[in-house]
Structure 1
């Protein structure tokens, strides 16, 4: 899992040159010193870091997050597949007793745990082959997020020191995430649970440990017992799209109902005080979603609206819900250079999008909505050709 890799997603787009060997060696020596200062045993730090070499592939992958380089349609269709839905349903039944116990302990329904499991590692079938200490050392020596990955490296060394996993068996994703639920080392240390009574936490090989740990993590992030992630909705004709302000634009379900929103099948929304935000991830042509506080909790696991939508939708499908009523359009995603040009043009027009980083995040969408409304365009926050043309972006 890319948990707490939140701000690491907000990155510059260019690939940096490989660090010179001497500079990397000096960086590794400094990392060793920092580990010792934080109480890591010298023999562990020296053994793990001795002769370690950078992995340039890790840097390349760090610059190409799929949540920001694919359309919603492409993203969902590659992740919420019929095969994954069917496998999830089988595992949901197979582990029903374990899931019921986790729900009693944490309030997190089992369908969400199965959905996370499916999205992170295809239900444990692929947990990653990157050597974690080497990958984290590479990222710690990359200036972009050195501090974050230094802390994660030291957490990994602590896991090795306390005997959770040998250094040579500590393998996972390019970003340092490990086990069936892809926990970062710091999260492994803080939230992983020995649920099977083996005497140690094993997120690679123990399904009870992995799923229970995920439940405890989601509880710690603020999961609201008894609430869903959100729902697909229909918008009325002549809807004021500037009301779709992303996660910052919350209203009660009753208020959205008064504005004419209906559920995905055309029925009335509940009269309720539960807060919900309206998302239009593909603009006015795509599906619309009202998302609740648990959607934000899911984004505490991975700071991507696409990811959180995939978790919620897969969880619904596992317990029998059908496909989305409005299929996301087959939009070609904008290149990072085009998004950078969009951001620069918005700033020039007096609508501050935040960092010019090539990522179409909430700040950029909010700024675009403001520009669209000012120019009399459909203010859905989506960079359609008309909006790009108005901004002078090719």
Structure 2
């Protein structure tokens, strides 16, 4: 949810042990102005002061404003950690475990279970990774420092209204640096608009209620234009030498693309019709190509990044039992699955690096250790966890058994 957690993303951000210095007087003046504005908008001053006035700013969030990995990470690395075999297996288990709820959600909102569960898996790893930053601390900091302060002030006030209404207790409002929280990582203003009480307990609780979270996600997608029964899109083959338009915003009738010689990726013909579609090649003309429909845009709106939308879309396909991509990404050094990332971290520990917990998340400590090993191995020093690096370290590391089953 804009801008959201994405388990890989948030946890990869370095967590400072101490808060860097800030101008306390300027911060207090900002809180004074926020209190006045909150009062004008119907938020009780006592509520504001009880929950915001004594919060110590966390200035580590400021460095994350422009660091969302869905915009900075090669798509093959991004998808390797989000659409891996573990997440597919876990997602299928969630489809079975929550089948009755998901069927009710489908009937109420018209969104298929695989798509809803894919969002859940990418956003919080099925409830395993909510994020650890207190929303009030992050949002009060971002309301007074850095860019986009007006946006974050609206989110701060929305958080206070959630507390006022009693839907979620303040201590449970923890999540991403930007304020996304719960199983499917709604930001507070989106929660206020679109969260639903699906379990009938009188509260809209995206933290403690899986039915509320799944239904709220489907409600979001429906309101974003989801078209029941239509696909998000599919992989296609583009004729060699094609020089026409591409990109998510270049919409044409499906018949137009058929007329350009575009087929299913297996070479089979596409039945032409008038549905507006776009040709998207997220890694350029040397990588996989897709025709995407209106439902892709609905997914895209959840986090406004194409890499993110493809993670949801491709994971949903895998949860429906479909295979992976036919065409490879244009790289000779693909990214790592989470299981492979854990193996890499164990090797780094064996080689004497203090990287903390083996969790499959390549954070600051792991990246620093990778740079040291890349230099030792004569590789490009960029801190990137890749298949090539893992293979080189397997060969260079003494033969000590490495458990890769995640246990």
Shorter-chain TM band = 0.7 to 0.9
User: Contact 2:3 / 2:178 at 8 angstroms: preserved in 1?
Assistant: no
Q: How does 1:142-291 map to 2 (within 5 A)?
A: 142-240=145-243, 242-244=244-246, 246-291=247-292
> Among residues 69, 73, 76, which one is paired with 2:72 in the alignment?
69
User: Contact 1:2 / 1:182 at 8 angstroms: preserved in 2?
Assistant: no
Who is 1:38 aligned against?
41
User: Contact 2:87 / 2:125 at 8 angstroms: preserved in 1?
Assistant: yes
TM-score (ref. length: structure 1): 0.78
Who is 2:323 aligned against?
322
Partner secondary structure for residue 237 of structure 1: coil
Q: CA deviation digits over 1:67-89, x for unaligned, max 9?
A: 11111100111110100001111
> Among residues 86, 89, 95, which one is paired with 1:86 in the alignment?
89
Q: CA deviation digits over 1:252-283, x for unaligned, max 9?
A: 22221111111121111122211110111111
Task: Give 5+ residue unaligned stretches, structure 2.
Answer: 6-19, 335-407
Who is 2:111 aligned against?
108
Partner secondary structure for residue 236 of structure 1: coil
How has the CA–CA distance of structure 1 residues 326 and 305 changed in structure 2, closer, same or farther, with 3 Å as cutoff?
same
Matches of 1:4 and 1:80, distance apart in 2: 17
Q: Which runs of 4+ in 1 moved over 3 A?
A: none
Who is 1:353 aligned against?
none
Matches of 1:234 and 1:304, distance apart in 2: 23
Matches of 1:197 and 1:204, distance apart in 2: 15
Matches of 2:281 and 2:172, distance apart in 1: 42
Deviating more after overlay: 154-163 vs 216-225:
216-225
How has the CA–CA distance of structure 1 residues 42 and 228 changed in structure 2, closer, same or farther, with 3 Å as cutoff?
same
How has the CA–CA distance of structure 1 residues 162 and 303 changed in structure 2, closer, same or farther, with 3 Å as cutoff?
same
Q: CA deviation at 1:18?
A: 6.1
Who is 1:359 aligned against?
none
Q: CA deviation at 1:205?
A: 1.5
Matches of 2:84 and 2:96, distance apart in 1: 19
User: Contact 2:172 / 2:207 at 8 angstroms: preserved in 1?
Assistant: no
Who is 1:48 aligned against?
51
Matches of 2:278 and 2:172, distance apart in 1: 43
Q: CA deviation digits over 1:213-259, x for unaligned, max 9?
A: 1111111111111111111101112212x422x12211222221111
How has the CA–CA distance of structure 1 residues 330 and 18 changed in structure 2, closer, same or farther, with 3 Å as cutoff?
farther
